[in-house]
Each structure stands twice: as structure tokens, then as C-alpha cells.
Amino acid sequence: MSKKVKTTPDAEVKEEETPKSKLRETLEFLAPIIIALIVAMILKYCIFANAVIPTGSMLNTIQKGDRVIASRLEYKFNEPERFDIAIFKYPDNEKELFVKRIIGLPGETVNIVDGTVYVTGTDGKTMQLRDDFVSPENKDSYNGTFVVPEDSYFVMGDNRDNSVDSRYWTTTNFVSRDKFVGKVMFRYYPFNTAGKLE
């Protein structure tokens, strides 16, 4: 007849209180933090771009100090379009990011007469561009003609009277396709004016 082995209460308590290893505890603590950081980095560098507007060059569409979100994916899968508000590397100093509105597309001729913008397309047809996003007090009387190279874009600020844009740069007057960071989609701060931007 087999003998029953008795387990003492002390043995049971010792078994339940066996501590986790320090390494395991540390890994369990750090894992969610590391995963959150990786997700944040992917969102920041692959999907979204976050920018604070430092000047009034996009008044009255975007105010100085506004915070905006741009989609990095938009220009990965689609071509930039006229009137998009875009973030791009400033041609005269690529360490800086600028936010402007796309006006001229590749191959077009942009002709500005007393501040009014006309575009001649690759089909030879000329049209006057809408400028309802430019407030009357922000218009100017600039004159100039620009032929947009292939794979490049002509951009202007909505505050035409006070914007360092394609009209005034020294390195080049155009933004190369590969210098776009993303299309501005939303203003998220200040909260009272948050929403989609066009």
C-alpha cells in the first residue's frame, strides 16, 4: 500500500511566493513602453507630419502659431494637386520646412499680373486661377512669369503680400516632387478652429 505524501503549509506558501526574475519583471515593464515608442515613430516618420506654423504667410487660412497635421502617405500614392496645402523642404535651406499652397504644376507657365495669377497648361490653354482663399487685405500687385520644370511645382502663400514663396527664392523658384513631406489635412490647435483645411 503506497504512502501518502503530506505537503506542509510552509511548502505551499514557498511555492506560491516564488518571485519572478528581475529580468522578466523589467522586460514586462518595458515592453509596452517600447511598443508605444515604435508605433509613435512609425506614425511620425511614415504616416503623419506635425508642424507648428511660425509665420503669417498663410493668413487667413492658417494663423501664426497654428498646429497642423499632414499626411505623408498622400504623396506616396498620389501626385500633388493644384491648391493642395503642402509641407516641403525649403529650397534655400532644406533643414527648414515650409507650408504653402500649390499653384503651378509640372510643365505649366505661371503668369502673375498685378497679383492676379494666370496659368497656361501643357495643352496651351490659359486660365485665371481662383483666389477666394486670399483675403483682400492680403493681396499684392506682384508681376512675374515662371515656367515650371517637369517634376516640380510652383507654390505661394495665401498671404500674398507677406510670403516668402516661389516668387522670391534664390536657389530655385520651384519645389521638386521629392522635396514634399506631406499634404496638410487638419488643424488640431487651437481647438476652437480645429478642422480640415482646404
Tell me which of 13 and 46 has the higher pLDDT.
Answer: 46
The domain spanning residue 143 has which CATH number?
A: 2.10.109.10
Task: Domain count for the chain, please give it.
Answer: 1
Domain for residue 19, yes or no? no
Domain for residue 84, yes or no? yes
Classify residue 5 by burial, with Cβ atoms within 10 Å: 0-12, 13-18, 19+. exposed
Least confident segment among 1-15, 16-30, 111-125: 1-15
pTM, 2 dp: 0.80
Domain coverage including residue 186:
45-191
Share of the chain above pLDDT 90, in %: 70
Domain for residue 18, yes or no? no
Q: What are phi and psi of 36, to 5 degrees?
A: -65, -40
pLDDT in tens, 116-168: 999 999 999 999 999 999 999 999 999 999 999 999 999 999 999 999 999 99
Least confident segment among 48-57, 64-73, 142-151: 48-57
Residues 104, 129: Cα–Cα separation, whole Å = 10
Residues annotated as catalytic (active site), given as ranges: 57, 100
Domain for residue 21, yes or no? no
Nearest to 83 by CA among 156, 163, 146: 156
Side-chain-side CA neighbours of 96 within 13 Å: the count stands at 10
Domain for residue 27, yes or no? no
